[in-house]
Amino acid sequence: MGMDAFFFKNRNSFFDRKDDIGEYVKRTCPEQVAEVMKAADDVCQQKFIFNLRRDMERTYEYVEFKDQIDWLHIPKNDPEWSFQFNRHHYWICLGQAYAISKNEKYAKTFVSQLLDWIDKVKKNDPACSNAWRTIEIGLRLEYWLKSIRYFEGSPSLTEEVYKAFADSVTEHCEMAMEIYDEFRVMSNWGIMQHHGLFLAGVMLPETERTREYRDTALQRLAQEVMIQVYDDGSDWEQSPMYHNEVLHDLLDVIILARRNAIYLPEGFMDKVHKMCYVTMYYTKPNHMELLAGDSDNIDMRDILTKGAYLFSDRVLKFSAYDSFDFDVIWDLGYKAMQSYEQLPQIMPSGLLHALADSGNYFWRSGWNENDTYFHFHCGTLGAGHGHSDMLHINLYANGEDVLTDTGRYTYVAGGERYAFKDSSAHNTITMDGKNFLHWVDSWCTDQFTQPVNRVCKDKNGYAYIEGGYIGYNNQFVNRKIVCLQPDLYLIADELYAQAEHTWQQYFHFNHEGNVSKSDTGYSYKSDKSFVELLQVGNDTAEIADTRMSLNYNSFKKNQTVKTNVSCNGFAAIFTLISVNRSNDIQPCAMKKLVVHSTFKKIVFSDDLIEAVSITKGTETYTVVCAHKDWAAPTDTFEADGCIGFGKVVVFNKKRDTGKSGTVLLW
């Protein structure tokens, strides 16, 4: 039996070899077919650019090799290009182009580049170390093993080619078997490495050793998943993109395990299923993942579609594709798509979701594309892909980002890496112009914070989220957020210090609009939205020209409102964010109120309790916020005729006249 028979006839792989996926995608995905054919033609001409959905570090300029390919090339001093170049994701395009067209030039290019790489990039050569990191081993195993199956029937893939391929894959596997340490246990590197090892153990000709590859990979993956994935389903690295990269790998494992009757370790499926739900929460109404930590603006429906299919989950399908897209069909096949299309979908329940282990909190007005979406982060830093984003908020409304993270831009250590990673690049608070984390390189900080005081609840139509942190040599910062309406948010920032300090707030707006000063505060205006930002308690404010990065290696100019307050000890700043459609603007207003003690007959000091009156359209609210315990010995507050008790209380002046209001925090 020839080597090709082992690859094509003796294994159940990612799609049934009898499926004519090429014909299917030509009928249903003409735009994606054109993109892949263009990418494959570029590779045939030795022109390389990384712009596929799963290219982790995108590029925007071609690197072209006129003669021999330099597999160790590093343009612009960014080794990420070299890492990605040696993962060979672009060979997937060659294989798909061959399956679509049966044009032998794609198979010839694959064989030529494969054999050239095997000949020149040696594992034991120190000069080739960038190409032989364990993360590249794992990714290459996936891309090689998937690519080769697309070339079934090609005369260019001779027995000699298959042998060279299998020998190199085996070399990869032996290295993956040899290297396992504490770093891999805790890093996405470990999961990517052992995902590739598992795929090879299943897809290579079966021997006692390939069974060892498979079993060892599963054992290690189980350990990594149990350690790296919180009970709430979040990957510990605090980056939606790397959460989804890990999830992609684990879904691959489930696909092959199920199709080859391989038992998965106890608890594995449950953790992966929870990870799918986290992806759903991380996904904005426009289907893009949050720009949190090191993340890019990537459509998440392929991940959610695979999860919905593998777990027969009707809720996940609501946020996924109705049918398989170009990427999914190659991994799951036509029969799976027919089954998936019969799966009904159900809208997720609830609008407020707390991922308490990772400290990520989400509120949305609904589950459709034009609904409002709000995210708050108060959790651990995570790994090197985390940013200084404690207390950061994201706000999406009217089909666009309004307040946004500024992204990652680069991994090259230096000023630009830190500028996008620092707390000043997030919608949070700094003290004395200093970031609360100090980055010593692209990945490591020598300072840490402690998240505390986390609360998340909804009541009587309001949502309430709170969180704080201890940092800056044990100073305390606390953020209280009240969602009064889907388009109206009150943020109370409480600043507790022990000396004279200046505090800064940052509100980074989307690059698609313009920020300007108004008589009452600041406004953001785009084709879709008009957003007002009003404040009580700040000293000064300004508009700064800043940058945001939607994808690696690119940035856009945006604008940021930066506010300042100086205090000796305690201060609080109230920020009101009012969201309107650009063609339907309801003016809003906020003013500070005097708060009385009904028992002691005094006016409370601002460091104990404050209140604001908020008006939007026909609705008027009184919101009372206590910064410390105040009700001694037996007391209630009064503000603008509203009497009550509690630390955060909301009164709707129409609905709650003569009543005690809604207590969101006792």
Q: What pLDDT shows up at residue 9?
A: 58
Asked if the structure places residue 85 within a domain, the reply is yes
Mean pLDDT of the chain: 93
**133 and 45 housed in the same domain:** yes
- Residues 480 and 420 occupy one common structural domain: yes
Residue ending a domain, among 287, 319, 349, is: 349
* Mean pLDDT calculated for residue range 415-430: 94
Q: Say if 221 falls within a structural domain.
A: no
Nearest partner of 381 among 435, 431, 432, judged by Cα = 435
Q: Has residue 109 been placed in a domain?
A: yes
Other beta carbons within 10 angstroms of residue 591's beta carbon come to 13
Judge whether residue 648 has pLDDT over 50: yes
Once rounded to an integer, what is the mean pLDDT over residues 598-619? 93
- Among 200, 215, 129, smallest CA distance to 167 is for 200
Of 565, 559, 623, 613, whose CA–CA distance to 591 is shortest?
Answer: 613
Lookup result for tokens 């309430």: 464
Q: Write the pLDDT tens digit of every residue in 226-270.
A: 999 999 999 999 999 999 999 999 999 999 999 999 999 999 999
CA gap 451, 469 in Å, rounded? 4
pLDDT of residue 15: 72
Model confidence at 282, in pLDDT bands (50, 70, 90)?
Answer: very high
pLDDT of residue 581: 94
Question: Which pLDDT belongs to residue 383?
Answer: 84
Report the distance separating Cα 658 and Cα 373, nearest Å. Answer: 33
On whether both 665 and 611 belong to a single domain, the answer is yes
Q: Which pLDDT tens digit goes with each residue over 345-389?
A: 999 999 999 999 999 999 999 999 889 999 999 999 888 899 999
The CATH number assigned to the domain holding 520 equals 2.70.98.70
Residues 572 and 591 in one domain: no
Beta strands 596-597 and 588-593: pairing type? unpaired
Helix (H, G, I), strand (E, B) or coil at 401: strand
Q: What is the pLDDT of residue 349?
A: 93
Are 303 and 398 part of one and the same domain?
no
Confidence of residue 11 (pLDDT cuts 50, 70, 90): low
pLDDT given at position 48: 96
Rounded to the nearest 5 percent, the helix, strand and coil shares of the chain are: 35, 30, 40
User: Does 1 have pLDDT greater than 60?
Assistant: no
Evaluate whether residue 224 is within a structural domain.
no
Do residues 409 and 526 share a domain? yes
CA dist., res. 295 & res. 548, Å (int): 12
Domain membership of residue 374 (yes or no) is yes
Q: Give pLDDT tens digits for 44-75.
A: 999 999 998 888 889 999 999 999 999 999 98
Q: Is residue 337 part of a domain?
A: yes
Q: Which of 314, 349, 384 marks a domain boundary?
A: 349
Distance CA 497, CA 573 (A): 14
Q: Are residues 155 and 166 in the same domain?
A: yes
Q: Report the run of H or E that residue 79 belongs to, with start and end.
A: helix 79-85
Q: How large a percentage of the chain has pLDDT more than 70?
A: 98
In angstroms, rounded to a whole number, what is the distance separating the alpha carbons of residues 107 and 207? Answer: 28
| CB within 8 Å of 358: residues ≥ 6 apart | 230, 232, 234, 236, 238, 379, 380, 382
pTM for the predicted model, two decimal places: 0.95
- Listed in sequence order, the residues at least 6 apart from 479 whose beta carbon sits closer than 8 Å to its beta carbon are 376, 378, 391, 429, 466, 467, 468, 491, 492, 493, 494
More confident residue, 585 or 77: 585
Which residues fall within 8 angstroms of residue 160, CB to CB, at 6 or more apart? none
Q: Quick one: pLDDT at residue 53?
A: 86
Structural domain ending residue among the three candidates 349, 376, 401: 349
Please count the structural domains in the chain.
4
Residues 470 and 337 in one domain: no
First to last CA, the chain: 74
Burial zone of 240 (CB within 10 Å; 0-12 exposed, 13-18 middle, 19+ buried): buried
How much is the CA Rg of the chain, to the nearest whole Å? 27
Could you tell me if 73 and 177 lie in one domain?
yes
Is 501 domain-assigned?
Answer: yes
Q: Please say if the pLDDT value at position 5 is more than 70.
A: no
Residue 216 lies in a domain: no
Which of 394, 385, 279, 425 shows the shortest CA–CA distance to 57? 385
Q: Are residues 515 and 574 in the same domain?
A: yes
Q: Which tens digit of pLDDT belongs to each residue from 159-213?
A: 999 999 999 999 999 999 999 999 899 999 999 999 999 999 999 988 999 999 9
CA–CA–CA angle 175, 176, 180 (5° rounding): 110
Which pLDDT does position 621 carry in this prediction?
95
Instruction: Identify the pLDDT of residue 657.
Output: 65
Q: Copy the structure tokens of residue 306.
A: 């695979």
Q: Per-residue pLDDT for 576 more than 70?
A: yes
Is 371 found in the same domain as 328?
no
Burial class (CB in 10 A: 0-12, 13-18, 19+), 93: buried
What pLDDT score was predicted for residue 4? 61
Pairing of strands 450-459, 462-471: antiparallel
Distance, CA of 76 to CA of 92 (rounded, Å): 26
**pLDDT level of residue 538 (50, 70, 90 thresholds):** confident
Which structure tokens are listed for 598?
Answer: 């009904």
Residue with tokens 């707006």: 509
- What are the tokens at 182? 């504490």
For residue 649, the enclosing domain spans: 587-666
Phi, psi of 41 (to 5 degrees): -65, -40
| Angle (nearest 5°) at CA 319 between 318 and 324 | 90
Q: CB-based burial of residue 393 (10 Å sphere; 0-12 exposed, 13-18 middle, 19+ buried)?
A: buried
Alpha helices of 283-325 — where are they, by DSSP H?
A: 301-310, 314-318
Dihedral of CA atoms 125, 130, 134, 137 in degrees, nearest 10, equals: -80
Say what the pLDDT of residue 495 is.
Answer: 92
Q: Are residues 424 and 504 in the same domain?
A: yes
Encode pLDDT of 485-523 as tens digits.
Answer: 999 999 999 999 888 899 999 999 999 999 999 888 999
